[in-house]
Amino acid sequence: MAHLTEDNSKILKRVRRLKGQLEGVEKMLAEGADCYAVLQNAAACRGAFNSLMRELILDHVEHHLVQSDEATDEIRETAQEIQDIVKSFLK
Amino acid sequence: MAHLTEDNSKILKRVRRLKGQLEGVEKMLAEGADCYAVLQNAAACRGAFNSLMRELILDHVEHHLVQSDEATDEIRETAQEIQDIVKSFLK
Amino acid sequence: MAHLTEDNSKILKRVRRLKGQLEGVEKMLAEGADCYAVLQNAAACRGAFNSLMRELILDHVEHHLVQSDEATDEIRETAQEIQDIVKSFLK
Amino acid sequence: MAHLTEDNSKILKRVRRLKGQLEGVEKMLAEGADCYAVLQNAAACRGAFNSLMRELILDHVEHHLVQSDEATDEIRETAQEIQDIVKSFLK
């Protein structure tokens, strides 16, 4: 329900790309690849994970606070401050 | 390929479990699940991913430094200090 | 200035304790202490800093959303979901 | 003892700058500054904390592994791989 339908395709794309990266790591492990190469490929997923979390949180705040009919100007301002903090933590 | 064969099955299990968790998130998104439920499940994936990274780094240090035939006592000690720091960062 | 006066003393205590910890690290460095001991003490500061950030964000959300006179039940619910996510990220 | 004397001044500078930033946050709290301004200034310390931890870990690995007289080529290679992973995590 809720807001996700609108942004679904963008977020779904992120989840699928991340799953693809993980499948690459899985294949390397199954084939006995060099351990540091595995480590590097796994580390590369970390940015994708952080971006996914950032988008999910920002969307949640956007739809349930910033764009809520029930939000006043002050509520909206605080919501945007929270979004800025999230962006600085998960960039 | 080195040390990974030994620990392969343990790490592979982690990667596959994480992939399964991500598929759960993908399914929730595709079905239009409640957005906070999606967010919580994605956050759980992040914890699993951090654990995976921790194990990959600890194993790498273990096999190439701590258990290396070339390591002296001092090398070994530093390697274990690094493992402790990694544990404190990725817990 | 808003809500900080109430929680000021609690947060101020955290900031001062953290400053004290950092001064400990500074002193160790100046005295040429063992480098791993310095590293461990710096890592402890990082944990204290994450706790400080968590408290600052939770308080901000608490006073400007959860306890705001302008907040409706739905606004409040979202605010508490945000607090739960922040707790899981900065624990 | 150990390697810190050489890099001491660089690391000490980082610690002191970070302490200065924290003192700014302390002053804002004591003067009842706007809570979001406090939050932003505290968040700005996070990058400085991560950089300090990164430098401490990299130096530790550099002096006790990479530049150790006891390190073989293989030990050195692993040590540099660890440094690269640390850089990607704490950037």
Q: How many residues in chain A? A: 91
The predicted complex's ipTM stands at 0.88
With respect to residue B20, please indicate whether it lies within any of the assigned structural domains: yes
Q: Is residue B2 part of a domain?
A: no
**What contacts 24+ positions apart, CB below 8 Å, involve A3-6?**
A3/A59, A3/A60, A3/A62, A3/A63, A3/A64, A3/B35, A4/A59, A4/B29, A4/B32, A4/B33, A4/B35, A4/B38, A5/B32
| pLDDT the model gives residue D3 | 58
Domain membership flag for residue B1: no
Gap between the Cα atoms of B81 and C66, Å rounded: 43
Query: Does B67 reside within a domain?
Result: yes
- Which pLDDT does position C1 carry in this prediction? 44
In a domain, D37, yes or no: yes
The pLDDT tens digits for C9-39 are 899 999 999 999 999 999 999 998 888 999 9
How far does C79 lie from chain D, in Å, by closest CA? Answer: 16
Number of other residues whose CB lies within 10 A of the CB of residue A62 = 16
Taking only the tens place, the pLDDT of each residue in D47-83 is 899 999 999 999 999 999 999 999 999 999 999 999 9
pLDDT value for B6: 60
Q: Which residue has the tokens 């994708």?
A: A48
Domain that includes residue D46, residue range: 7-89
Q: Quote the pLDDT of residue B8.
A: 79
Cα separation, C32 vs C54, whole angstroms: 33
Kindly report the CATH number assigned to the domain that includes residue A19.
Answer: 1.20.58.1000
pLDDT at residue number B19: 96
The string of pLDDT tens digits covering residues D16-44 is 999 999 999 999 999 989 889 999 999 99
Portion of chain B with pLDDT greater than 90, in percent: 80
Domain presence at residue C30: yes
Q: Nearest by CB to B81, which of C36, C85, C88?
A: C36
Pick D85's closest partner by Cβ from A43, A85, A89: A43
Strands (E), chain B: none
In this structure, is residue C23 part of a structural domain? yes
The count of structural domains within chain B is 1
Spatial neighbors of D37 by CB under 8 A, at least 6 apart, are D28
Residues of chain A with pLDDT under 50: 1
- The overall average pLDDT reported for chain B is 91
pLDDT at A4: 54
CB-based contact D14:D52 (threshold 8 Å) = yes
Contact criterion met (CB below 8 Å) for A91 and A54: yes
- Which D residues 29-58 touch B at CB under 8 Å? 57
Q: How far apart are CA A70 and CA C72, in angstroms?
A: 7
What confidence category does residue C3 fall into, taking pLDDT thresholds of 50, 70 and 90?
low
Is it the case that residue B26 has pLDDT exceeding 50?
Answer: yes
| pLDDT tens profile C47-85 | 999 999 999 999 999 999 999 999 999 999 999 999 999
Q: Which two tokens stand for residue A77?
A: 């301002």
Q: Cα dist. C67→C73, C79, D66 in Å?
A: 11, 10, 54
- Phi/psi at B70 (5° precision): -85, -10
| Domain contains B19 | yes
Whether residue D39 and residue A88 make contact (CB cut-off 8 A), yes or no, is: no
Query: Residue D6: what pLDDT?
Result: 60
